Chain A
Amino acid sequence: MDARDITGVGIGLRREHYADIVQCTRALDFLEIVPENYLDKGGWPLQRLEACAQRWPLAVHGVSMSIGGPDPFDTRHLAALRRLLDRVGATRYTDHLCYAQLGGVAFFDLLPLPWTSAAARHCAERILRLQDALGYPVAVENITDYARMPGASLDEAGFVREVVERADCGLLLDVANVYVNACNHGQDPFATLLALPIERAVQIHLAGSVVEDGRRIDNHGTAVPEPVWAMYRAVVERVGAVPTLIEWDNAIPPLDRVLDEADRARAIQRACAPRTAAVA
Chain B
Amino acid sequence: MNPSDALTQFFAAMPAMLLARTPAAAVEARLGPCPSGTANLGFYATLVRRNLDKILRDVFPAVAARARAQTPSPWAAWVDGYAAAHPPAGIDPNGFAAAFPSWLADQAGVAAALHELADYEWLRVLSYHAPDHGPEPHGLGRRLFVRHYTDDVPAIAAAAWRGAPWRESPRPTTVLVYRHASTAASCVHRPAPLELVALAQRCGTPVPAALAALPQAQLDAAAARLHRRGVLETLESNPSIRSEP
Q: Which A positions have Cβ atoms within 8 angstroms of B?
A: 36, 39-47, 64, 69-70, 74, 77, 99, 101-109, 111, 113-114, 116-119, 122, 146-152, 185, 215
Distance between B165 CB and nearest chain A CB, rounded to angstroms: 26
Is B132 part of the contact surface with A, judged by Cβ < 8 Å?
A: yes
Distance between B138 CB and nearest chain A CB, rounded to angstroms: 14
Residue pair B44, A43 in contact (C-beta under 8 Å): no
Q: Given the known A-B contacts A43-B128, A146-B43, are A102 and B184 also in contact in the complex, defined by CB atoms under 8 Å?
A: no
Q: Which of A99, A113, A150 contacts B33 (CB 8 A)?
A: A150
Q: Which B positions have Cβ atoms within 8 angstroms of A?
A: 3-4, 6-8, 10-11, 14-15, 18-19, 27-28, 31-37, 40-41, 43-44, 47-48, 51-52, 55, 87-93, 96, 128-133, 143, 179, 184-185
| Interchain residue pairs A-B with the least CB separation, the first 5 | A118-B3, A42-B132, A147-B40, A64-B91, A150-B31
Q: Which residue of A lies closest to B6 (CB)?
A: A151
Residues on A with beta carbons closer than 8 Å to the beta carbon of B88: 105-108
Residue pair A106, B128 in contact (C-beta under 8 Å): no
Residue pair B129, A151 in contact (C-beta under 8 Å): no
Residues on A with beta carbons closer than 8 Å to the beta carbon of B19: 105
Q: Which residue of B lies closest to A38 (CB)?
A: B129
Residue pair B130, A108 in contact (C-beta under 8 Å): no
CA distance A142 to B161 in the complex (A): 38
Residues on B with beta carbons closer than 8 Å to the beta carbon of A122: 4, 7
Residue pair B129, A102 in contact (C-beta under 8 Å): no
Residues on A with beta carbons closer than 8 Å to the beta carbon of B47: 109, 146
Q: Given the known A-B contacts A108-B51, A109-B48, are A43 and B129 also in contact in the complex, defined by CB atoms under 8 Å?
A: yes
Q: Which residue of A lies closest to B28 (CB)?
A: A150
Residues on B with beta carbons closer than 8 Å to the beta carbon of A118: 3-4, 6-7
CA distance A151 to B12 in the complex (A): 14
CA distance A118 to B15 in the complex (A): 20
Q: Given the known A-B contacts A45-B129, A64-B91, A215-B43, are A151 and B11 also in contact in the complex, defined by CB atoms under 8 Å?
A: no
Given contacts A122-B7, A150-B32, list 16 more A-B pairs with CB under 8 A: A36-B92, A42-B143, A43-B129, A43-B184, A64-B91, A70-B11, A106-B88, A107-B18, A108-B52, A111-B44, A114-B6, A117-B3, A118-B7, A122-B4, A146-B40, A148-B34
Residues on A with beta carbons closer than 8 Å to the beta carbon of B44: 109, 111, 146-147
Distance between B145 CB and nearest chain A CB, rounded to angstroms: 14
Residue pair A148, B35 in contact (C-beta under 8 Å): yes
Residue pair B89, A104 in contact (C-beta under 8 Å): yes
CA distance A118 to B89 in the complex (A): 26
CA distance A119 to B36 in the complex (A): 19
Residue pair A42, B130 in contact (C-beta under 8 Å): yes
Residue pair A105, B36 in contact (C-beta under 8 Å): no
Residues on A with beta carbons closer than 8 Å to the beta carbon of B43: 146-147, 215
Residue pair B37, A149 in contact (C-beta under 8 Å): no
Residue pair B96, A108 in contact (C-beta under 8 Å): yes
Q: Given the known A-B contacts A105-B88, A106-B96, A215-B43, are A185 and B8 also in contact in the complex, defined by CB atoms under 8 Å?
A: no
Residue pair B92, A42 in contact (C-beta under 8 Å): no
Residues on B with beta carbons closer than 8 Å to the beta carbon of A117: 3
Q: Which residue of A lies closest to B4 (CB)?
A: A118
Q: Which of B35, B36, B40, B93 contacts A108 (CB 8 A)?
A: B93
